Amino acid sequence: MNQSATISSAAPASTRAGLLVRYGIWIALALTLLLLPYVFSSRLALSTMSLMGTMIVFALSYNMLLGQTGLLSFGHAVFFGLGGFATVHMLNLVGGNSYPIPLPLFPVVGALGGLFFGVLFGAVATKRAGTAFAMITLGIGELVASSALILRRFFGGEEGITTDRTDMLRVFGYSFGPQIQVYYLIAAWCFLSIVLMYAITRTPFGRICNAVRDNPQRVSFIGYDPSTVRFIAFSLSGLFAGVAGGLSAINFEIVNAAQMGAVESGSVVLMTYIGGVGNFAGPIIGAILVTWLQLILSDATTVWPLYVGLLFIGVVMFAPGGIAGLLSMQQPLLAARTLHRVLPYYFLMFVPGAVAVAGLAMLIETSHQFSIRAAYGPRMTLYSIPFDVTTLTPWAIGAVVFAVGLWLFLRAARLARNAYDAALPQRGNR
- Binding residues for other proteins, rule: CB under 8 A, are 66, 70, 72, 74, 124, 127-128, 130-132, 134-136, 138-140, 142-143, 146-147, 150-154, 262, 266, 269-270, 273, 303, 305-306, 308-310, 312-313, 316-317, 320, 364, 367-368, 371-372
Cβ 92 vs Cβ 165: under 8 Å: no
CA atoms within 13 A on the CB side of 220: 7
Judged by DSSP in three states, 17 sits in: coil
Q: How far is the CB of 403 from other proteins (least distance, A)?
A: 16
Q: Cβ closer to other proteins: 52 or 65?
A: 65
Write phi, then psi, for 161 (nearest 5 degrees). Answer: -115, 130
| Residue 419 · residue 342 · CB < 8 Å | yes
Read off the amino acid at residue 88.
V
Q: Is 136 or 182 the residue whose CB approaches other proteins more closely? A: 136
CB 191 to other proteins: min, Å: 30
Q: Which residues contact 119 (CB under 8 A, 6 or more apart)?
A: 235, 238
Q: How many residues does the chain have?
A: 430
* Min dist. Cβ of residue 78 to other proteins (A): 12
**SS3 assignment, position 161:** strand
To the nearest whole angstrom, how small is the minimum distance from the Cβ of residue 366 to other proteins?
11
Nearer to other proteins, 39 or 150 (CB): 150
Contacts 24+ apart (CB under 8 A), 43-49: 43/179, 46/179, 46/180, 46/183, 47/179, 47/251, 48/291, 48/292, 48/295, 49/183, 49/187
Q: Is 266 exposed, middle or buried (0-12, 13-18, 19+ CB in 10 A)?
A: middle
How many other CB atoms are there within 10 angstroms of residue 126's CB atom? 25
Minimum CB separation from other proteins for residue 104, in Å? 31
Q: How far is the CB of 312 from other proteins (least distance, A)?
A: 4
Closest distance of CB 373 from other proteins, Å: 9
Strands 254-255 and 379-382: unpaired
Measured CA to CA, the distance from residue 202 to residue 183 in angstroms comes to 28
Computed over its alpha carbons, how large is the radius of gyration of the chain? Answer: 24
55/144 with CB nearer other proteins: 144
- Report DSSP state, residue 254: E
In the complex, minimum distance from the CB of residue 360 to other proteins, in angstroms, rounded to a whole number: 12
- State which residue, 134 or 343, has the beta carbon closest to other proteins: 134
